[in-house]
């Protein structure tokens, strides 16, 4: 593949999340051919670029300077430059700065394209073995969102630091009931690990082995209604639906059994279809 002169525009380029070999051929060609590379930390990005013999002007673009640097990038593109945007690892804009830059490019009618590649969100989900038909990326762990996300009946994906993992598991155990948990660590690296179990099992494991190292993706399954409790749900729902609306019946049963209302609602709909 030979390098071509790139047309002016913003090129959003995914980079490896651990294994340098995961960068795509198209990404390499774009990084070699662009005029400027915007990145979070020039020191981190320079290591990747040096590994592939890429020597391009770097400019820092991160949360703390985005408002000042965004007009600079837009001006470069307007003057005919191809600017590549990369993050420290993975797909830019996902829990990283950049979406405002994309919006401003569109407002200025400047071209934007995306070069897909590694993403810790998708890699963690795939490795977890959790249901993949419906999932929600909840970003970095934030205790203030537990009440909201505990009612969401899909697979949940969080980013968390290894040093806070044990404390987070203990906090989550009080808010997320009947969920399987997966800790996916060091994705694509030498010591890649997937550890699954209940909150209690994982808390006990890390209490014994100590704080893990590396980057962590924390994944919670949708609420699991075991077969034994499924009978209880059906029995209570039938009793409640005889005297309550479906909305009130689901709220009542969810409160009695301590499971998410949406899971009960889905079961109520299934029971109505069986009639």
Beta bridge partners of 183: 195, 218
Q: What is the mean pLDDT of the chain?
A: 92
What residue ranges do the domains of the chain occupy? 9-118, 121-220, 227-274
Say what the pLDDT of residue 252 is: 87
- Residue 205 is encoded by which pair of tokens? 């494991």
> In this structure, are strands 58-60 and 155-161 parallel, antiparallel, or unpaired?
unpaired
Q: Looking at the chain, how many residues does it have?
A: 275
Among 273, 272, 274, CA closest to 242: 272
Residue ranges of alpha helices (H) inside 129-260 are 146-149, 165-173, 199-209, 227-241, 246-257
Using the Cα atoms of residue 137, residue 65, residue 87 and residue 10 in order, give the sign of their dihedral. positive
H or E segment and range at residue 50: helix 42-51
What is the dotted CATH code of the domain comprising 121-220? 3.30.950.10
The pLDDT of residue 52 is 97
Task: Please provide the CATH number assigned to the domain covering 9-118.
Answer: 3.40.1010.10
- What distance in Å separates the CA atoms of residue 250 and residue 203, rounded to the nearest whole number? 31
pTM score of the predicted model: 0.81
β pairing state of 82-85 and 9-13: parallel
72 is written with which tokens? Answer: 């600079």
What does the pLDDT look like over 82-100, one tens digit per residue?
999 999 999 999 988 899 9
Q: Is the pLDDT of residue 69 over 90?
A: yes
What's residue 275's pLDDT?
A: 66
Mean pLDDT of 209-235: 84
Q: Both tokens of residue 34? A: 């662009």
Nearest to 102 by CA among 86, 113, 90: 113
């Amino acid at each position: 593949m030979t390098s071509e002169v790139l047309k002016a525009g913003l090129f959003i380029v995914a980079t490896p999340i651990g294994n340098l070999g995961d960068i795509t051929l198209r990404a390499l060609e774009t990084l070699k051919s662009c005029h400027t590379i915007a990145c979070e930390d020039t020191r981190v990005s320079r290591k990747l670029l040096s590994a592939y013999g890429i020597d391009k002007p770097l400019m820092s673009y991160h949360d703390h300077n985005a408002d000042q640097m965004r007009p600079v990038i837009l001006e470069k593109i307007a003057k005919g430059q191809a600017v590549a945007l990369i993050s420290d690892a993975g797909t830019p804009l996902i829990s990283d700065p950049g979406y405002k830059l994309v919006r401003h490019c569109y407002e200025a009618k400047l071209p934007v394209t995306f070069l897909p590649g590694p993403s810790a969100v998708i890699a963690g989900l795939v490795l977890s073995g959790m249901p993949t038909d419906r999932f929600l990326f909840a970003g970095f762990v934030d205790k203030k969102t537990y009440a909201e996300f505990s009612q969401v009946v899909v697979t949940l994906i969080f980013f968390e630091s290894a040093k806070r993992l044990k404390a987070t598991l203990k906090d989550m155990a009080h808010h997320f009931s009947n969920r399987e948990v997966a800790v996916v660590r060091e994705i694509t690296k030498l010591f890649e690990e997937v550890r699954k179990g209940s909150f209690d099992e994982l808390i006990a494991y890390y209490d014994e082995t100590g704080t893990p190292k590396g980057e962590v993706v924390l994944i919670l399954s949708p609420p699991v209604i075991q077969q034994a409790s499924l009978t209880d749900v059906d029995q209570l729902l039938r009793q409640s639906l005889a005297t309550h609306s479906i909305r009130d019946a689901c709220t009542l049963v969810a409160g009695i059994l301590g499971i998410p209302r949406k899971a009960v609602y889905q079961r109520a709909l299934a029971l109505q279809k069986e009639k």
